[in-house]
Structure 1
Amino acid sequence: MRLLLVEDDERVAAALVAVLGRHGFQVRHARSGHEALDALVPDGNEPYRVVLLDLGLPDRDGFEVCSRIRAHSGVPVIMVTARADVRSRIHGLNLGADDYVTKPYDMGELLARIHAVARRGLAAAPEPTEQPPAPGPLEARGISIDRERRRVTVHGRDVPLTRKEFDLLALLAQSPGVVYRREQIFSEVWRSGWEGNGRTLEVHIGSLRTKLALPGLVEAVRGVGYRLIPEQPADTEPGR
Structure 2
Amino acid sequence: MSEKDTTAHPTVTVLVVDDEPQILRALRINLSVRGYQVVTAADGAAALRIAAEKQPDVVILDLGLPDLDGIEVLAGLRGWTSAPVIVLSARTDSADKVEALDAGADDYVTKPFGMDELLARLRAAVRRGATAADGATPVVVTDSFTVDLAAKKVTKNGAAVHLTPTEWGMLEMLVRHRGKLVGRKELLREVWGPAYATETHYLRIYLAQLRRKLEDDPAHPRHLLTEAGMGYRFQE
Normalising by the residue count of structure 1, what TM-score does the alignment of the two structures yield? 0.57
Are 1:229 and 2:213 an aligned pair?
no
Q: Which has the larger radius of gyration?
A: 1
Following TM superposition, by how much is the alpha carbon of 1:157 offset from its aligned partner in structure 2, in angstroms?
4.1
- Going from structure 1 to structure 2, the CA distance change for 1:86 and 1:202 (only over 3 Å counts) comes to farther
Separation of aligned partners in 2, 1:5 and 1:160: 34
- After superposition, give the CA deviation of every residue in 1:1-44 in whole Å (9 maximum; x if it has no partner): 9xx67326xxxx6xxx6xxxxxxxxx4549xxxxx9xx57x85x
- Tell me whether 198-207 or 160-169 shows the greater mean CA deviation: 160-169
Q: Is contact 1:79-1:97 (8 Å) kept? A: no
RMSD over aligned Cα atoms: 4.6
Alignment map for 1:20-59 (pairs within 5 Å): 27-29=23-25, 39=28, 45-46=33-34, 54-55=42-43
In 2: Cα distance, 1:153 partner to 1:159 partner: 5
Structure 2 unmatched ranges of 5 or more: 6-15, 98-107, 128-132
Alpha-carbon offset, residue 176 of structure 1: 3.6
Does residue 1:216 correspond to 2:217, yes or no?
Answer: no
1:1-16 → structure 2 map (5 Å cutoff) = 6-7=18-19
Name the residue aligned to 2:200: 198
Whole-angstrom CA distance in 2 between matches of 1:85 and 1:75: 12
Q: 1:112 maps to what in 2?
A: 110
Q: Is the 8 A contact 1:143 1:155 kept in 2?
A: yes
Tell me how far apart the structure 2 counterparts of residues 195 and 167 of structure 1 sit (CA, whole Å).
15
Identity %: 18
Equivalent residues in 2 for 1:56-71, closer than 5 Å: 61-68=46-53, 71=55
Q: Which residue of 1 aligns with 2:58?
A: 74
Structure 1: gaps of 5 or more residues? 18-26, 31-35, 127-131, 231-240
Which structure shows the bigger proportion of residues in helix conformation? 2
1:76 is matched by which residue type in structure 2? I
Structure 2 CA distance for aligned equivalents of residues 106 and 50 of structure 1:
26
Give the TM-score normalised by structure 2: 0.58
Residue identity opposite 2:230 in structure 1 = V
Q: Contact 1:51/1:75 (CA < 8 Å) preserved in 2?
A: no
Q: CA deviation at 1:117?
A: 6.7
